[in-house]
Protein backbone atom coordinates (compact mmCIF):
# COMPACT_ATOMS: atom_id res chain seq x y z
CA UNK A 1 0.00 0.00 0.00
CA UNK A 2 2.52 2.63 1.12
CA UNK A 3 5.89 3.16 -0.51
CA UNK A 4 8.85 2.24 1.68
CA UNK A 5 10.05 5.84 1.73
CA UNK A 6 6.77 6.89 3.36
CA UNK A 7 6.72 3.95 5.78
CA UNK A 8 10.17 5.03 6.91
CA UNK A 9 9.10 8.57 7.80
CA UNK A 10 9.11 8.99 11.52
CA UNK A 11 5.54 9.44 12.82
CA UNK A 12 6.78 12.00 15.37
CA UNK A 13 8.16 14.07 12.49
CA UNK A 14 4.78 14.00 10.73
CA UNK A 15 2.96 15.01 13.90
CA UNK A 16 5.44 17.73 14.73
CA UNK A 17 5.11 19.19 11.20
CA UNK A 18 1.32 19.32 11.52
CA UNK A 19 1.52 20.87 14.97
CA UNK A 20 3.92 23.60 13.89
CA UNK A 21 3.12 24.25 10.23
CA UNK A 22 -0.47 22.99 10.19
CA UNK A 23 0.23 20.47 7.44
CA UNK A 24 2.44 17.63 6.23
CA UNK A 25 2.81 16.47 2.63
CA UNK A 26 4.45 13.42 1.11
CA UNK A 27 4.84 12.82 -2.63
CA UNK A 28 3.71 9.39 -3.81
CA UNK A 29 2.97 7.89 -0.39
CA UNK A 30 0.75 5.22 -1.99
CA UNK A 31 2.10 2.81 -4.59
CA UNK A 32 0.89 2.97 -8.17
CA UNK A 33 -0.18 -0.70 -8.11
CA UNK A 34 -2.28 -0.20 -4.99
CA UNK A 35 -4.10 2.80 -6.50
CA UNK A 36 -4.75 0.85 -9.67
CA UNK A 37 -6.42 -1.93 -7.69
CA UNK A 38 -8.38 0.57 -5.61
CA UNK A 39 -9.73 2.33 -8.70
CA UNK A 40 -10.78 -1.03 -10.15
CA UNK A 41 -13.16 -1.35 -7.18
CA UNK A 42 -15.10 1.74 -8.27
CA UNK A 43 -17.14 2.34 -11.40
CA UNK A 44 -17.62 6.09 -11.64
CA UNK A 45 -19.85 5.58 -14.68
CA UNK A 46 -22.39 3.58 -12.73
CA UNK A 47 -24.62 6.07 -10.95
CA UNK A 48 -27.09 4.99 -8.28
CA UNK A 49 -30.72 4.91 -9.47
CA UNK A 50 -33.03 2.52 -7.71
CA UNK A 51 -29.92 0.48 -6.98
CA UNK A 52 -30.00 -1.54 -3.77
CA UNK A 53 -26.36 -0.92 -2.85
CA UNK A 54 -24.02 1.90 -1.90
CA UNK A 55 -22.38 3.59 -4.87
CA UNK A 56 -21.61 6.69 -6.88
CA UNK A 57 -23.71 9.87 -6.94
CA UNK A 58 -23.31 13.16 -8.78
CA UNK A 59 -23.16 16.71 -7.42
CA UNK A 60 -22.54 19.07 -10.35
CA UNK A 61 -19.06 18.35 -11.70
CA UNK A 62 -18.07 15.95 -8.95
CA UNK A 63 -18.84 12.25 -8.66
CA UNK A 64 -18.79 10.89 -5.12
CA UNK A 65 -18.42 7.45 -3.63
CA UNK A 66 -19.13 8.55 -0.08
CA UNK A 67 -19.54 5.13 1.51
CA UNK A 68 -16.15 3.81 0.45
CA UNK A 69 -15.74 1.91 3.74
CA UNK A 70 -18.61 -0.24 2.49
CA UNK A 71 -17.48 -0.76 -1.07
CA UNK A 72 -13.71 -0.48 -1.35
CA UNK A 73 -11.54 -2.83 0.69
CA UNK A 74 -8.48 -0.89 -0.49
CA UNK A 75 -9.93 2.37 0.83
CA UNK A 76 -10.90 0.63 4.08
CA UNK A 77 -7.33 -0.64 4.45
CA UNK A 78 -5.83 2.85 3.96
CA UNK A 79 -8.29 4.48 6.37
CA UNK A 80 -7.62 1.86 9.06
CA UNK A 81 -3.91 1.38 8.29
CA UNK A 82 -1.48 1.24 11.17
CA UNK A 83 0.40 4.29 9.81
CA UNK A 84 -2.77 6.41 9.85
CA UNK A 85 -3.68 5.17 13.32
CA UNK A 86 -0.17 5.80 14.62
CA UNK A 87 -0.35 9.39 13.38
CA UNK A 88 -3.75 9.86 15.04
CA UNK A 89 -2.59 8.26 18.26
CA UNK A 90 0.37 10.58 18.49
CA UNK A 91 -1.46 13.70 17.35
CA UNK A 92 -4.55 13.45 19.56
CA UNK A 93 -4.49 13.36 23.32
CA UNK A 94 -7.88 11.67 23.68
CA UNK A 95 -9.99 9.24 21.66
CA UNK A 96 -10.55 10.18 18.02
CA UNK A 97 -13.14 9.19 15.45
CA UNK A 98 -13.43 9.25 11.70
CA UNK A 99 -16.17 11.82 11.09
CA UNK A 100 -16.44 11.71 7.30
CA UNK A 101 -14.81 10.03 4.33
CA UNK A 102 -15.23 9.83 0.59
CA UNK A 103 -13.62 9.21 -2.76
CA UNK A 104 -14.49 11.85 -5.33
CA UNK A 105 -13.78 12.60 -8.93
CA UNK A 106 -13.76 16.20 -10.08
CA UNK A 107 -13.92 17.02 -13.77
CA UNK A 108 -14.15 19.94 -16.20
CA UNK A 109 -14.26 22.80 -13.70
CA UNK A 110 -14.48 23.61 -10.06
CA UNK A 111 -14.45 26.58 -7.74
CA UNK A 112 -14.27 25.63 -4.10
CA UNK A 113 -14.44 28.46 -1.56
CA UNK A 114 -11.79 28.99 1.13
CA UNK A 115 -12.95 27.19 4.26
CA UNK A 116 -11.98 25.23 7.35
CA UNK A 117 -13.34 21.78 8.19
CA UNK A 118 -14.06 22.22 11.92
CA UNK A 119 -17.76 22.25 11.17
CA UNK A 120 -20.71 21.52 13.39
CA UNK A 121 -23.97 20.66 11.70
CA UNK A 122 -27.65 20.62 12.49
CA UNK A 123 -29.17 18.33 9.89
CA UNK A 124 -27.74 19.37 6.52
CA UNK A 125 -26.99 22.88 7.74
CA UNK A 126 -23.72 24.21 9.16
CA UNK A 127 -24.53 25.37 12.68
CA UNK A 128 -21.13 26.67 13.74
CA UNK A 129 -17.45 25.92 14.17
CA UNK A 130 -15.94 23.71 16.89
CA UNK A 131 -12.59 23.74 18.60
CA UNK A 132 -11.96 19.98 18.77
CA UNK A 133 -8.61 18.98 17.31
CA UNK A 134 -8.95 17.26 13.95
CA UNK A 135 -6.96 16.00 10.98
CA UNK A 136 -7.80 15.99 7.30
CA UNK A 137 -6.22 13.18 5.27
CA UNK A 138 -6.11 13.62 1.51
CA UNK A 139 -4.65 11.20 -1.03
CA UNK A 140 -4.39 12.10 -4.70
CA UNK A 141 -5.52 9.03 -6.66
CA UNK A 142 -4.59 10.72 -9.95
CA UNK A 143 -1.80 13.09 -10.93
CA UNK A 144 -2.89 16.53 -9.79
CA UNK A 145 -1.49 19.35 -11.89
CA UNK A 146 -4.49 21.67 -11.82
CA UNK A 147 -7.12 21.89 -9.09
CA UNK A 148 -4.43 21.20 -6.46
CA UNK A 149 -5.01 21.47 -2.73
CA UNK A 150 -4.19 24.92 -1.37
CA UNK A 151 -3.46 25.86 2.22
CA UNK A 152 -2.86 29.27 3.78
CA UNK A 153 0.33 29.07 5.81
CA UNK A 154 -0.27 29.38 9.56
CA UNK A 155 -4.02 29.76 9.08
CA UNK A 156 -4.68 27.08 11.74
CA UNK A 157 -3.48 29.69 14.24
CA UNK A 158 -5.88 32.49 13.23
CA UNK A 159 -8.85 30.87 11.48
CA UNK A 160 -10.91 31.03 14.72
CA UNK A 161 -11.17 34.80 14.16
CA UNK A 162 -13.52 33.93 11.29
CA UNK A 163 -15.64 31.37 13.13
CA UNK A 164 -18.77 33.40 12.34
CA UNK A 165 -18.16 32.95 8.57
CA UNK A 166 -19.01 29.87 6.52
CA UNK A 167 -16.46 30.73 3.77
CA UNK A 168 -13.98 33.51 3.06
CA UNK A 169 -14.17 35.22 -0.30
CA UNK A 170 -11.38 34.89 -2.88
CA UNK A 171 -10.94 38.67 -2.96
CA UNK A 172 -10.59 38.90 0.83
CA UNK A 173 -7.96 36.13 0.89
CA UNK A 174 -6.12 37.74 -2.05
CA UNK A 175 -6.05 41.09 -0.33
CA UNK A 176 -4.81 39.79 3.02
CA UNK A 177 -3.03 36.46 2.54
CA UNK A 178 -2.02 36.12 -1.13
CA UNK A 179 1.65 35.69 -0.23
CA UNK A 180 0.79 32.89 2.26
CA UNK A 181 -1.07 30.65 -0.20
CA UNK A 182 0.64 27.28 -0.62
CA UNK A 183 -0.36 25.15 -3.62
CA UNK A 184 0.35 21.41 -3.81
CA UNK A 185 0.36 20.03 -7.35
CA UNK A 186 1.70 16.48 -6.96
CA UNK A 187 1.75 13.07 -8.58
CA UNK A 188 -0.72 10.24 -8.06
CA UNK A 189 -0.40 8.67 -4.59
CA UNK A 190 0.69 11.85 -2.86
CA UNK A 191 -0.64 12.52 0.60
CA UNK A 192 -1.62 15.76 2.30
CA UNK A 193 -2.39 15.90 5.96
CA UNK A 194 -3.62 19.08 7.57
CA UNK A 195 -5.13 20.57 10.66
CA UNK A 196 -8.89 20.93 10.03
CA UNK A 197 -8.67 24.45 11.52
CA UNK A 198 -6.43 25.54 8.63
CA UNK A 199 -7.94 27.63 5.80
CA UNK A 200 -7.86 25.61 2.57
CA UNK A 201 -9.55 24.77 -0.72
CA UNK A 202 -8.93 23.04 -4.05
CA UNK A 203 -7.54 25.60 -6.52
CA UNK A 204 -10.25 26.69 -9.00
CA UNK A 205 -9.79 25.30 -12.49
CA UNK A 206 -11.36 24.97 -15.88
CA UNK A 207 -10.17 22.21 -18.18
CA UNK A 208 -12.50 19.94 -20.08
CA UNK A 209 -9.94 17.15 -20.17
CA UNK A 210 -9.07 17.09 -16.50
CA UNK A 211 -10.25 14.41 -14.10
CA UNK A 212 -8.95 14.55 -10.54
CA UNK A 213 -9.63 11.60 -8.22
CA UNK A 214 -9.14 11.98 -4.47
CA UNK A 215 -9.60 9.99 -1.27
CA UNK A 216 -10.40 12.20 1.70
CA UNK A 217 -11.17 11.42 5.30
CA UNK A 218 -11.39 13.45 8.45
CA UNK A 219 -10.62 12.38 11.99
CA UNK A 220 -11.76 14.47 14.95
CA UNK A 221 -11.09 14.15 18.66
CA UNK A 222 -14.80 14.03 19.40
CA UNK A 223 -15.46 15.05 22.98
CA UNK A 224 -18.37 13.79 25.06
CA UNK A 225 -20.18 17.11 24.58
CA UNK A 226 -20.37 16.46 20.84
CA UNK A 227 -22.32 13.20 20.74
CA UNK A 228 -23.72 12.80 17.22
CA UNK A 229 -20.84 14.68 15.54
CA UNK A 230 -20.01 13.07 12.21
CA UNK A 231 -21.53 11.21 9.29
CA UNK A 232 -22.61 7.61 9.69
CA UNK A 233 -20.02 5.03 8.71
CA UNK A 234 -21.41 2.23 6.61
CA UNK A 235 -18.80 -0.52 6.77
CA UNK A 236 -18.75 -3.82 4.91
CA UNK A 237 -18.30 -6.46 7.63
CA UNK A 238 -16.31 -8.56 5.15
CA UNK A 239 -13.50 -5.97 5.44
CA UNK A 240 -13.19 -6.09 9.22
CA UNK A 241 -10.16 -8.38 9.41
CA UNK A 242 -8.17 -6.03 11.64
CA UNK A 243 -10.67 -5.14 14.34
CA UNK A 244 -9.21 -4.01 17.65
CA UNK A 245 -10.94 -1.98 20.37
CA UNK A 246 -9.03 1.04 19.03
CA UNK A 247 -10.28 0.59 15.45
CA UNK A 248 -13.81 -0.05 16.69
CA UNK A 249 -13.72 3.24 18.55
CA UNK A 250 -12.15 5.05 15.58
CA UNK A 251 -14.88 3.74 13.24
CA UNK A 252 -17.48 4.79 15.79
CA UNK A 253 -18.98 1.43 16.78
CA UNK A 254 -21.94 2.23 19.04
CA UNK A 255 -21.42 5.99 18.66
CA UNK A 256 -24.32 8.16 17.56
CA UNK A 257 -23.88 10.10 14.33
CA UNK A 258 -26.39 12.59 13.14
CA UNK A 259 -24.97 14.25 10.01
CA UNK A 260 -26.29 13.15 6.62
CA UNK A 261 -23.86 11.69 4.11
CA UNK A 262 -22.00 14.36 2.14
CA UNK A 263 -22.90 15.56 -0.40
CA UNK A 264 -26.64 15.77 -0.26
CA UNK A 265 -27.69 14.66 -3.75
CA UNK A 266 -30.77 14.03 -5.84
CA UNK A 267 -31.57 14.10 -9.55
CA UNK A 268 -31.57 17.89 -9.17
CA UNK A 269 -27.82 17.99 -8.38
CA UNK A 270 -26.93 16.42 -11.74
CA UNK A 271 -25.65 18.56 -14.61
CA UNK A 272 -27.91 18.90 -17.70
CA UNK A 273 -25.32 16.80 -19.60
CA UNK A 274 -25.43 13.95 -17.04
CA UNK A 275 -29.22 14.14 -16.94
CA UNK A 276 -29.41 13.80 -20.73
CA UNK A 277 -27.02 10.83 -20.68
CA UNK A 278 -29.22 9.26 -18.06
CA UNK A 279 -32.38 9.81 -20.14
CA UNK A 280 -30.64 8.12 -23.08
CA UNK A 281 -29.93 5.09 -20.93
CA UNK A 282 -33.42 5.08 -19.45
CA UNK A 283 -35.34 5.28 -22.72
CA UNK A 284 -34.68 1.69 -23.96
CA UNK A 285 -35.16 0.40 -20.41
CA UNK A 286 -38.47 2.25 -20.18
CA UNK A 287 -39.66 0.74 -23.47
CA UNK A 288 -38.63 -2.73 -22.31
CA UNK A 289 -40.46 -2.26 -18.99
CA UNK A 290 -43.62 -1.12 -20.81
CA UNK A 291 -43.62 -4.15 -23.14
CA UNK A 292 -43.02 -6.52 -20.22
CA UNK A 293 -45.84 -4.94 -18.31
CA UNK A 294 -48.21 -5.30 -21.31
CA UNK A 295 -47.31 -8.98 -21.67
CA UNK A 296 -47.85 -9.48 -17.93
CA UNK A 297 -51.24 -7.88 -18.03
CA UNK A 298 -52.32 -10.05 -20.97
CA UNK A 299 -51.08 -13.42 -19.72
CA UNK A 300 -52.45 -15.16 -16.62
CA UNK A 301 -49.91 -15.17 -13.69
CA UNK A 302 -49.95 -19.01 -13.68
CA UNK A 303 -48.61 -19.22 -17.24
CA UNK A 304 -45.85 -16.71 -16.45
CA UNK A 305 -44.70 -18.84 -13.49
CA UNK A 306 -44.73 -21.95 -15.72
CA UNK A 307 -42.75 -20.13 -18.40
CA UNK A 308 -40.16 -19.07 -15.77
CA UNK A 309 -40.00 -22.70 -14.51
CA UNK A 310 -39.38 -24.06 -18.00
CA UNK A 311 -36.79 -21.38 -18.71
CA UNK A 312 -34.95 -22.21 -15.46
CA UNK A 313 -34.92 -25.96 -16.34
CA UNK A 314 -33.72 -25.23 -19.82
CA UNK A 315 -30.93 -22.92 -18.56
CA UNK A 316 -29.73 -25.26 -15.81
CA UNK A 317 -29.71 -28.23 -18.24
CA UNK A 318 -27.67 -26.38 -20.81
CA UNK A 319 -25.28 -25.20 -18.01
CA UNK A 320 -24.87 -28.81 -16.83
CA UNK A 321 -24.41 -29.99 -20.39
CA UNK A 322 -21.61 -27.40 -20.89
CA UNK A 323 -19.76 -28.80 -17.84
CA UNK A 324 -19.21 -32.18 -19.51
O1 LIG B 1 -10.06 18.40 -2.74
C2 LIG B 1 -9.40 19.23 -2.12
O3 LIG B 1 -8.30 19.63 -2.49
C4 LIG B 1 -9.94 19.81 -0.84
C5 LIG B 1 -11.22 19.20 -0.42
C6 LIG B 1 -11.78 19.85 0.79
O7 LIG B 1 -11.21 20.69 1.39
C8 LIG B 1 -13.09 19.41 1.30
O9 LIG B 1 -13.78 18.61 0.63
O10 LIG B 1 -13.45 19.85 2.40
FE1 LIG C 1 -12.00 21.04 3.34
State pLDDT tens for residues 55-77. Answer: 999 999 999 999 999 999 999 99
Return the number of other C-beta atoms located less than 10 Å from residue 271's C-beta.
Answer: 13
Element (H, E) at 257: strand 257-259
Return the number of other C-beta atoms located less than 10 Å from residue 164's C-beta.
Answer: 7
Q: Average of pLDDT values for 212-224?
A: 96
Write the CB contacts of 120 (distance below 8 Å, at least 6 apart in sequence).
126, 127, 128, 129, 130, 226, 229
Model confidence at 320: pLDDT above 80:
no
pLDDT tier, 177 (very low <50, low <70, confident <90, very high otherwise): very high
Question: Which of 44, 61, 48, 323 has its CA nearest to residue 205?
Answer: 61
Q: What is the pLDDT of residue 300?
A: 84
Q: Taking all residues of the chain, what is their mean pLDDT, rounded to a whole number?
A: 95
123-137, 144-158, 300-314: lowest mean pLDDT where?
A: 300-314
Q: What percent of the chain has pLDDT over 70?
A: 99
DSSP 177-218: HGGGEEEEEE-TT-EEEEETTS-EEEPPEEEEEEEEEEEEEE
- Top pLDDT among 42 and 296 is at 42
Q: Is 99 in the pocket of ligand 1 (CB under 6 A)?
A: no
Q: Is 117 in the pocket of ligand 1 (CB under 6 A)?
A: yes
Q: Average of pLDDT values for 116-144?
A: 96
Write the CB contacts of 177 (distance below 8 Å, at least 6 apart in sequence).
152, 155, 199
Q: d(Cα 53, Cα 102) in Å, to the nearest integer?
A: 16
The rounded Å distance from CA 298 to ligand 1 centre is 55
The rounded Å distance from CA 316 to ligand 2 centre is 53
Model confidence at 323: pLDDT above 70:
no
Q: d(Cα 246, Cα 82) in Å, to the nearest integer?
A: 11
Judged on CB neighbours under 10 Å (0-12, 13-18, 19+), 74 is buried
Model confidence at 150: pLDDT above 90:
yes
Q: Whose CA is nearest to atom 6 of ligand 1?
A: 201
Ligand 1 binding pocket mutation candidate from 117, 199, 216, 262 (most atoms within 8 A of CB): 216
Question: Which of 117, 120, 121, 150 has its CA nearest to residue 136?
Answer: 117
Q: Is 212 in the pocket of ligand 1 (CB under 6 A)?
A: no
Q: What is the pLDDT of residue 264?
A: 96
SS3 assignment for 74-113: HHHHHHCCHHHHHHHHHHCCCCCEEEEEEEEEEEEEECCC
Cα–Cα separations (whole angstroms), residue 233 to 60, 81, 86, 240: 24, 17, 21, 13
* Ligand 1 atom nearest to CA at 212: 1
What's the residue count for the chain? 324
Q: Is 149 in the pocket of ligand 1 (CB under 6 A)?
A: yes
pLDDT tier, 124 (very low <50, low <70, confident <90, very high otherwise): confident
Q: What is the pLDDT of residue 324?
A: 62
Q: Average of pLDDT values for 249-262?
A: 96
Q: Average of pLDDT values for 310-316?
A: 89
Sheet holding 134-140, edge to edge: 23-26, 191-195, 134-140, 205-220, 97-110, 62-65, 57-59
Q: Are 217 and 101 in contact (CB under 8 A)?
A: yes
Q: Whose CA is nearest to atom 7 of ligand 1?
A: 201
Model confidence at 25: pLDDT above 80:
yes
Ligand 1 binding pocket mutation candidate from 149, 155, 217, 218 (most atoms within 8 A of CB): 149
Q: Average of pLDDT values for 146-152?
A: 97
Q: Is 202 in the pocket of ligand 1 (CB under 6 A)?
A: yes
Amino acid sequence: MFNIAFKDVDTSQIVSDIKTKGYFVFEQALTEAYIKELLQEIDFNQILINNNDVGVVIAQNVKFLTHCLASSKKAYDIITSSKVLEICQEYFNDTYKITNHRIYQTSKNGHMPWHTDNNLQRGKQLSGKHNMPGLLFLFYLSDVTKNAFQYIANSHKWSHEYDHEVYLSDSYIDSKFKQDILTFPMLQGSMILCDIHGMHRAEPFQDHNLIRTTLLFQVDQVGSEYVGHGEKNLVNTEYLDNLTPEIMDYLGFGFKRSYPAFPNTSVATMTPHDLLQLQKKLLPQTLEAISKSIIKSLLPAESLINAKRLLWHFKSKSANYKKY
